[in-house]
Amino acid sequence: MGSGKNQDTSFSVLTPEGIEFALYPAGLLIRVAACGIDSVVRFFLLLAVRLGVSMVASLTGRWFTMLLWFVISWFYHVFCEIMFRGQSIGKRVLGLRVVQSDGSPVGPGSSLLRNLLRFADNFMGLYYIALFSVTVSPGFRRPGDWAADTLVVYTANAQAPARRADIAWIDRFKKISPGRGLSYEEKQAILSFAGRYPLLGPDRAEELARIYVPSLPDGPEENTAEYLLGIAHTLSGS
């Protein structure tokens, strides 16, 4: 995949199938809000561990509880991002997700690196470095994002209202079920195709659709652009 930066702070990503979709990086305020939610969750997890310390009398139990404390403190975000496809609880509540800069899902190594570097954000107990980096950098990245080549972006649901406005004309196409669950990247690609359809022309749109449709179950051999637009119509209202 290749990627570029648009003037509206979105990032365009070109898939190997030749379909372009957009990533919308999350700004400072919503990321601070997500971090606040995660801090509350971690506080209650750590509180439960502390209560466990007082209930466990044996030395072995105390060491085990201290280990849990360390794991929660340092690896809460890593665990969530690996288990929930780039989302901590705070990010899930606010419709955000961590992805690689090319739009692909964040990997374990990248998640570990971006989160271990949180200590650099919290220099002297303050988040000045992270706040400065997110405010001024392209894609609103903190140091851990730069090191791991990741972005925090809005999920498909968070961007749905804007996409519906962009492709309001799609109502004239019959809704079609994709036949299987689609990934975030696939949904973005199909919706981006629908957004570009009026600029492509029928022949070019059909050419691009024939590249992508074979990856979908029960895709037709003809009228493939109409088939993708029908799926886009379904997605735009979900």
Q: What is the pLDDT of residue 7?
A: 37
Given a contact cutoff of 8 angstroms between Cβ atoms, the answer to whether 144 and 114 are in contact is: yes
Residue where one domain finishes, among candidates 154, 185, 216: 154
d(CA 16, CA 147): 25
168 and 192 share a domain? yes
Q: What is the pLDDT of residue 212?
A: 75
Flag residues of the chain having pLDDT under 50: 1-8, 17, 157-165
28 and 70 share a domain? yes
In a domain, 73, yes or no: yes
- The SS3 of residue 151 is strand
124 and 173 share a domain? no
193 and 91 share a domain? no
In a domain, 230, yes or no: yes
Residue where one domain finishes, among candidates 154, 176, 200: 154
Query: What DSSP string describes 58-111?
Result: SHHHHHHHHHHHHHHHHHHHHHHHHHTTS--HHHHHHTEEEEETTSPBPPHHHH
d(CA 60, CA 66): 10
- pTM here? 0.60
Alpha helices in the chain (DSSP H): 28-55, 59-83, 89-94, 108-116, 118-121, 128-136, 143-148, 156-166, 184-200, 202-212, 224-236
Its domain, for residue 171, covers: 157-236
- pLDDT tens, residue by residue, 98-113: 988 877 788 899 999 9
Q: What is the pLDDT of residue 100?
A: 87
Residue where one domain finishes, among candidates 154, 170, 192: 154
Four-residue CA torsion sign, 34, 82, 128, 140: negative
Token duo for residue 78: 């890593």
* Number of domains forming the structure of the chain: 2
